[in-house]
């Protein structure tokens, strides 16, 4: 195929112009003034549910006896939970073990003394006013291993979204501040990333504190949860 000199010259001119434009755009992007920042948003919200982990630990000379005793006492604990309005679906076994127990003497081989059986359940209590009474009921039914209480939200979506919005507002305010301080203005948000939400729970009573009498339920206060979201962003600045 024959290419005329004029057409070849035009094609080369267009090619060089395109390459120059691409190089100029890349150069402009490389030399753009950007600001990379991170910020957090935090909200406080009252919990609407509690989680209790409790169970029974028993010891006996034989493995069968230890497990049989444990089963009888654990059935009583679960019955107490059900009687206090806890749904069956809100009771989940989270720890079950059977271990030999040994006595150790200096210069002597270990001597087995019996067996220990343990059974733990995690319970979701969806009425906070019933937490104290539920604790009292399980201890009264034979629970001797109480791991404490934690608080949460049945649905975190709304709280996490509020924290996200607060984090984005904080990020934008920080970008505006840095821009003003350096004599620039924010042109646009180039990218936005999420660091993840987390919930800080209020203090909850531990097993050593669960000593109230059956006539007066254990005092438990749900307090407030702190929901925090972290975001990061890159802003382009200009004069």
Output the pLDDT for position 222: 83
Range with the poorest average pLDDT among 10-14, 99-103, 205-209: 205-209
State which residues form the domain around 128. Answer: 49-152
Average pLDDT over residues 199-212: 48
Sign of the CA dihedral running 132, 138, 140, 145: negative
Q: Per the domain annotation, does 1 fall within a domain?
A: no
Q: CB under 8 Å to 144, separation ≥6 — which residues?
A: 56, 57
Over the stretch 42-87, which tens digit does the pLDDT of each residue have?
Answer: 999 999 999 999 999 999 999 999 999 999 999 999 999 999 999 9
- Decide which of 101, 135, 152 is a domain's last residue: 152
CATH number of the domain where residue 173 is located: 3.30.110.170
- Give the integer Cα–Cα distance in Å for 47 and 155: 10
3-class secondary structure for the chain?
CCCCHHHHHHHHHHHHHHHHHHHHHHHHHHHCEEEEEEEEEEEEECCCEEEEEEEEEEEECCHHHHHHHHHHHHHHHHHHHHHCCCCHHHEEEEEEEEEEEEECCCCCCCEEEEEEEEEEEEEEECCHHHHHHHHHHHHHCCCCEEEEEEEECCCCHHHHHHHHHHHHHHHHHHHHHHHHHCCCEEEEEEEEEEEEEEEECCCCCCHHHCCCCCCCCCCCCCCCEEEEEEEEEEEEEEC
Residue of 134, 151, 140, 56 whose CA lies nearest to 95: 56
90 band by pLDDT with thresholds 50, 70 and 90 = very high
Q: What is the pLDDT of residues 156-170, one digit of tens each?
A: 999 999 999 999 999
The tens digit of pLDDT for each residue in 123-145 reads 999 999 999 999 999 999 999 99
Residues in the chain: 239
Q: Is residue 162 part of a domain?
A: yes
Residue 143 in domain: yes
Average pLDDT of the chain, as a whole number: 85
Smallest Cα–Cα separation from 159: which of 5, 43, 4? Answer: 43
Q: Are 225 and 202 in contact (CB under 8 A)?
A: yes
Kindly state the average pLDDT of the residues 102-115.
Answer: 92
Domain count, the chain: 2
Whether the pLDDT of residue 1 is over 70: the answer is no
Cβ neighbors of 5 (< 8 A, separation 6 or more) are none
Q: What is the structure's pLDDT at 204?
A: 46
User: Are residue 169 and residue 94 in the same domain, yes or no?
Assistant: no
Instruction: Note whether residue 9 is domain-resident.
Output: no
φ, ψ for residue 17 (rounded to 5)?
-65, -45
| Judgement on whether residues 195 and 182 belong to the same structural domain of the protein | yes
Q: Give this prediction's pTM.
A: 0.69
Is residue 23, in this structure, part of any structural domain at all?
no
Token code pair at residue 79: 């019955």
Does 183 reside within a domain?
Answer: yes
What pLDDT score was predicted for residue 213? 40
């Amino acid at each position: 195929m024959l290419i005329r000199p004029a057409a070849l010259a035009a094609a080369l001119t267009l090619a060089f112009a395109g390459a120059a434009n691409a190089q100029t755009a890349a150069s402009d992007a490389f030399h753009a003034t950007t600001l990379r920042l991170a910020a957090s948003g935090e909200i406080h919200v009252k919990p609407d549910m509690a989680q209790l982990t409790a169970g029974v630990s028993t010891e006996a000379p034989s493995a069968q006896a230890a497990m049989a005793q444990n089963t009888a006492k654990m059935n009583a604990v679960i019955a107490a939970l059900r009687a206090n309005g806890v749904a069956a679906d809100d009771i989940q076994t989270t720890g079950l073990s059977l271990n030999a127990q040994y006595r150790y003497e200096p210069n002597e081989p270990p001597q087995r003394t019996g067996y220990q059986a343990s059974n733990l359940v995690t319970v979701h209590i969806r009425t906070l006013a019933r937490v104290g009474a539920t604790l009292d009921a399980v201890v009264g039914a034979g629970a001797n291993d109480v791991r404490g209480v934690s608080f949460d939200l049945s649905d975190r979506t709304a709280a996490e979204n509020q924290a996200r919005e607060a984090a984005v507002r904080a990020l934008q305010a920080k970008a505006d501040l840095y821009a003003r301080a350096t004599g620039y203005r924010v042109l646009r948000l180039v990218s936005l990333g999420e660091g993840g939400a987390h919930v800080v729970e209020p203090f909850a009573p531990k097993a050593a504190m669960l000593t109230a009498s059956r006539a007066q339920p254990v005092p438990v206060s749900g307090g407030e949860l702190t929901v925090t979201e972290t975001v990061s962003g890159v802003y382009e600045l200009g004069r």
